[in-house]
Amino acid sequence: MNKNSVVIHIPHSSSHIPDKFKSQYLLTEAELESELLKMTDWYTDELFDIPGFKIHCNRISRLVMDPERFRSNDLEEMARFGMGVAYTQTSDRRTLRNISDSENEQILTELYDPYHFRFTQTVEEILLSCGHCMIIDAHSFPSQPLPYEIALNKTKQNRPDLCLGYDPYHIDGSFLRLTESFFTQKQQLAVAHNFPFAGSIVPAKYYHKDKRVQSLMIELNRALYLDERTGRKTESFHSVQDMIRDYFMEVTKSGLI
């Protein structure tokens, strides 16, 4: 893998809610902290901070703006659960916040659109310099499904240690097999494809239009590195961090990208 052809996307690691948005939330401070604990992909910005690779990281909480959603609620499956670009429901399907149409538009134009403009620009620059681009979409998921996941029927099997998410249009089979082999054979982890979550981010400009843009979501089960009751790192955090760095070393040597 040519490091210059890769961008690591980290959308959900932040718990920061800017002051200008705090008045929208209807939860108590303790309830909001509890929701952040459940919904934040804790420390993925540290786990996937790989020296020499481009990083595109969302610095505000997904509870404010989720860049992984389609811009239009008509296209976004999660909008019916109040989890489109601007979340209005909690993970247990209570009202999170009230936002007007104008406030929703403000989130789109001031947060979502600039974020995606910069992300698309990064992919464009990589394509111009390398002729191809690999997006690694870095996430984590709770070891037990949250109530909204149960509504999505995400409980049909035991949760894996690691989920690989992708759209077949935007993934090379050899790269996918190498990734799965690394985590299953070398790390002895249980790996699932597109479960409990599916897909991987691709800028709208290239989505199902340009196979030069590849994308793979790597989602870690939080139980591997996190005390999910407190949000604190466990003793295994650094070994998981080393594993992720070893993965990038492995694919760098592979020559597949």
Domain layout of the chain by residue ranges: 3-254
pTM above 0.85, yes or no: yes
- Average pLDDT score over the chain: 95
Bridge partners, 214 (sequence order): 134
For the segment 173-202, what is each residue's pLDDT rounded down to a tens digit?
Answer: 999 999 999 999 999 999 999 999 999 999
Work out the pLDDT band at 1, boundaries 50, 70, 90: low
**198 and 118 Cβ atoms separated by less than 8 Å:** no
Pairing of strands 232-233, 226-227: antiparallel
Look at residue 187 and give its three-state secondary structure: coil
Work out the pLDDT band at 155, boundaries 50, 70, 90: low
In this predicted structure, the answer to whether residue 150 has a pLDDT above a threshold of 90 is: no
Pairing of strands 162-165, 213-221: antiparallel
**Which of 10, 65, 61, 68 minimizes the C-alpha distance to 36?**
61
DSSP state of 224: G
The identity of residue 107, as a single letter, is I
CATH superfamily of 3-254: Zn-dependent exopeptidases (3.40.630.40)
In this predicted structure, the answer to whether residue 96 has a pLDDT above a threshold of 80 is: yes
pLDDT for res 254: 86
For the segment 229-248, what is each residue's pLDDT rounded down to a tens digit?
Answer: 999 999 999 999 999 999 99
In this predicted structure, the answer to whether residue 257 has a pLDDT above a threshold of 80 is: no
